[in-house]
Amino acid sequence: MLVVMNILNNKTDNTLNMQTIKGYDKKIMLRCIELSQIAVNKGDAAFGSLVSLDGKLIAEGINNKNGKVSDHAEILALHNAHLKLGTTDLSECTLYTSCEPCPMCSFMIREYKIKRVVYALPSLYVGGHSKWPILQDEELEHMTPIFSNVPEILGGYMEEEANEVMKQTPLWMFGSDAKLNK
């Protein structure tokens, strides 16, 4: 079942705000989930991300635990988008990711001025949206030109599909029902 994280009161409900879903979201998120499967096949954690501009693929990232500790899928996708577009201003771009970004990645998302964030699995224990509200911190907006506005956030989108990949790993802490499972 699709679940949306309610930004204001930090609880989940079973409704999905259709207005926030764009026609190309499904295709792009499917690619993110495919990237997470590639990561698992390589023996890594199930995380895949990509940066898109108006539905067009700009750059991808796959978790790389054998590299640096900070080689999270989102960070690699953002760095690759920076290299490809030649700018740190990604304010027209959307960041898609198979799992809710952690605080480290959320901070980078804000610094790269990403306009919209779409993620599948919630991360209730270590999320930069549901646990530590970095993605939606309005005070960062005042620190111009380093940061820009709070991005539009669509969470829980295609969660079930992402969870099919996550279930192949011992990472039980991801998903909207993670706290109920343990």
Is there a contact between 111 and 135 (Cβ–Cβ < 8 Å)? no
Question: Closest separation between CB of residue 44 and Zn ion, Å?
Answer: 13
Residues contacting Zn ion: total by CB under 5 A: 4
How many residues make up the chain in this entry?
182
Tell me: does residue 114 bind Zn ion (CB under 5 A).
no
Phi/psi class of residue 105: alpha, beta or left (left: φ > 0; alpha: ψ in -120 to 50)?
alpha
Question: Closest separation between CB of residue 85 and Zn ion, Å?
Answer: 21
Rounded CA gap, 109 and 131, in Å? 16
Look up 74 and say whether it is catalytic. Answer: yes
The single residue among 31, 72, 110, 129 that binds Zn ion, judged by CB under 5 A, is 72
Q: Which of 34, 60, 74, 164 is catalytic?
A: 74
The single residue among 50, 58, 102, 162 that binds Zn ion, judged by CB under 5 A, is 102
Rounded CA gap, 107 and 129, in Å? 11
**Which active-site residues does the annotation give?**
74
**Under the rule (CB under 5 A), what is the footprint of Zn ion?**
72, 102, 104-105
